[in-house]
Homo-oligomer: A and B are copies of this chain.
Amino acid sequence: MPATLKDIAAKLNISVSTASYAINGGPRSVPAEVKQRVLDTARELGYRPNRIARSLVAGKTMTLGVVPVQITIDLAVVPYFQEAFNGVVNEAELLEYDVLLFTRAFADPDRLADVLLDGRVDGLIFFAPNIDSPVLSRIRESRFPFVVINNQIEGTEPCFSADNRQGITVAVEHLVSLGHKRIAHIHGPLEMFDAVERHHAFLEAMVGHRLEVRKEWLLDGQFTPMGGHTAACRLLSMADRPTAVVCANDEIATGVYRAAWEMGVQIPTELSVVGFDNNASAQVLLPRLTTIRQPLEEMGAASAKAIVEMLNGGKPPHQQFQTELIVRESTTRPVEVS
């Protein structure tokens, strides 16, 4: 039972409105002497304004909701999430908003929408939702402010995504310019928009360079180290092996490194590896990983900024972020197999 304005008012024989004005320093002025007494007894009683009550009258909560539609368990351990989330959190701090993470997974999109729209946050940020996200339609219907990171968006709400196509295109060009012709791709789960875009872009780039796309060199790596490991083990035990592999994210690359290590395959001399994301693990791998940087943190920050802009009546535009190939030590010329 924390102290309330009523307690202070009662103790001082003044009205709660006066107490309120004194505590908030306005908008009505309060005589200095009264104000001081209010402040003193507030301190004495350990009074702290109740933000729930304040939110109710203000009609806003000063908090942003983050909704990771895709993953539910072990979410905070996925690098992709971590970086975008970090961007949101850093920016939210600057904007003086707090961040509520919605973790409850509901099979029913209606129930999920109910939870997201229950008034606890002023706006929502969706992280890399599945391509088919019925929740988004629900939220859209309710006209609640939201933005989306990395997804194709039907409506007009702001969407922040990386140029996956460009990234993959540049990566394949890089490999081709080194002399690679035999290039494999380990893709992510094809229910995810990013995975699909990168996969498409890979195929297009290969065709563009008139290189053969072998079905058995197109494997699912699930965006995880284990997926990458499994795929790479298959790839590396083929009699007819690729000289390079484009991984749909760095986590997959991590698994490829392990597989190569276990099978005694040298990176980059026997296998060139390209990742995607440039997250922390890319910095840990040795030789250092050549990868496509996706500015996830900026994207997270931009999405937080956009939501707040919308709350202030603005209409922030979609934004596509350029990717950047970071050439490090995991790619080199293929060995001649003549």
Binding site for B on A (CB under 8 A): 2, 46, 48-53, 55-56, 61, 63, 72-77, 79, 82-83, 85-86, 89-90, 92-93, 96, 98-105, 114, 117-120, 141-142, 225, 254, 257-258, 261, 280-281, 283-286
Contact = CB atoms under 8 A, between A and B. Distances in A.
B99 A101 contact: yes
Contacts of A89: 75-76, 101, 103
A53 B120 CA distance: 10
Given A63-B100, A74-B90, A254-B283, 10 more contacts: A2-B142, A50-B118, A50-B119, A51-B119, A51-B120, A76-B85, A89-B103, A98-B103, A99-B100, A225-B284
16 contacts: A48-B114, A51-B118, A51-B120, A52-B120, A63-B120, A76-B83, A77-B280, A79-B280, A93-B105, A96-B104, A98-B102, A99-B103, A257-B284, A257-B286, A258-B286, A261-B286
B48 A118 contact: yes
A105 B284 CA distance: 30
Given A76-B86, A100-B100, A56 B52 contact: yes
A73 B77 CA distance: 18
Contacts of A117: 2, 48
